[in-house]
């Protein structure tokens, strides 16, 4: 496997360039925020290498700096990253036969890695398992590199970094708009927006995420057949 990895990295790198540009900036924002809360770069390196959860790491900053509530932390983590359950199911066939690297491929699965592995086949002369490992390694390394860079830069910044955490919100807005433009059926998106708005009005800004996620799942389950029919049409 190690002998095949350099060639796989060369084949995988062009497919990960968009992830490189995005993860470097998002990772730097995370590192700057963490350094602003008093965490040094070794802690930032540890969290990005061990947690590697993107949006959840931004949420985790407040969890790390407030009174620890294990149940709340668990529910937040589940609601933010519940989509990975569906990733895992859809990747069962691709991950079969990956042997000893399978646990890392499962751990390193993120939105961007999932997209690349689903849409891209390795060149004929590149081992499939090594290619999947290369994509996963490269994408995580971009995030870790950006995070550590932000952690090193953060203490040296002389301007007010208040509001930099909005970068993650902006990132998800862009993803939402791209998905809206790419899909003809907007019913699931409208359900998500409606459920979030209702939960926000009822539970307030600090407590609406979990109820919103539950309401979205319930609505999508109830209207599943109708939505599937609309997609087929």
Same domain, 190 and 225: yes
pLDDT at 4: 83
Same domain, 54 and 96: yes
C-alpha closest to that of 33 among 178, 161, 192, 186 = 161
Query: What is the residue range of 37's domain?
Result: 5-156
Number of domains into which the chain is organized: 2
pLDDT at 178: 66
Pairwise CA distance, residues 55 & 84, whole Å: 13
pLDDT at 220: 77
- Cα torsion for 175, 36, 110, 67, to the nearest 10°? -110
Is residue 164 a contact partner of residue 37, using CB atoms and an 8 Å limit? no
Low-confidence ranges of the chain (pLDDT < 50): none
Is residue 162 a contact partner of residue 46, using CB atoms and an 8 Å limit? no
Is residue 139 a contact partner of residue 19, using CB atoms and an 8 Å limit? yes
pLDDT at 164: 67
Tokens at 126, concatenated = 């590149």
Considering the entire predicted model, what is its pTM? Answer: 0.75
Q: Does residue 177 sit within a domain? A: no
Q: Does residue 169 sit within a domain? A: no
Q: Does residue 112 sit within a domain? A: yes
- Signed CA dihedral, 181, 93, 5, 41: sign only: positive
Same domain, 111 and 190: no
């Amino acid at each position: 496997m190690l002998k095949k990895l350099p060639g796989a990295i060369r084949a995988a790198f062009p497919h990960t360039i968009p992830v490189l540009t995005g993860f470097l900036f998002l990772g730097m924002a995370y590192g700057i925020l963490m350094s602003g809360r008093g965490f040094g770069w070794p802690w930032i390196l540890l969290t990005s290498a061990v947690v590697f959860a993107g949006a959840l790491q931004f949420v985790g900053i407040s969890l790390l700096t407030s009174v620890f509530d294990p149940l709340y932390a668990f529910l937040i983590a589940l609601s933010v990253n519940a989509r990975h359950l569906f990733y895992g199911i859809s990747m069962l066939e691709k991950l079969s036969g990956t042997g000893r690297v399978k646990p890392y491929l499962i751990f390193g699965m993120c939105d961007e890695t999932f997209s690349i592995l689903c849409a891209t086949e390795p060149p004929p002369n590149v081992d499939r398992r090594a290619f999947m490992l290369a994509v996963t390694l490269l994408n995580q390394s971009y995030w870790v590199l950006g995070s550590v860079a932000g952690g090193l830069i953060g203490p040296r910044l002389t301007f007010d970094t208040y509001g930099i955490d909005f970068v993650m919100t902006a990132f998800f807005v862009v993803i939402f708009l791209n998905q809206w433009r790419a899909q003809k059926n907007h019913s699931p998106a409208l359900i998500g927006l409606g459920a979030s708005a209702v939960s926000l009005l009822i539970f307030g800004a600090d407590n609406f995420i979990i109820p919103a996620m539950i309401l979205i799942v319930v609505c999508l389950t109830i209207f599943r057949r109708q939505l599937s029919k609309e997609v087929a049409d």
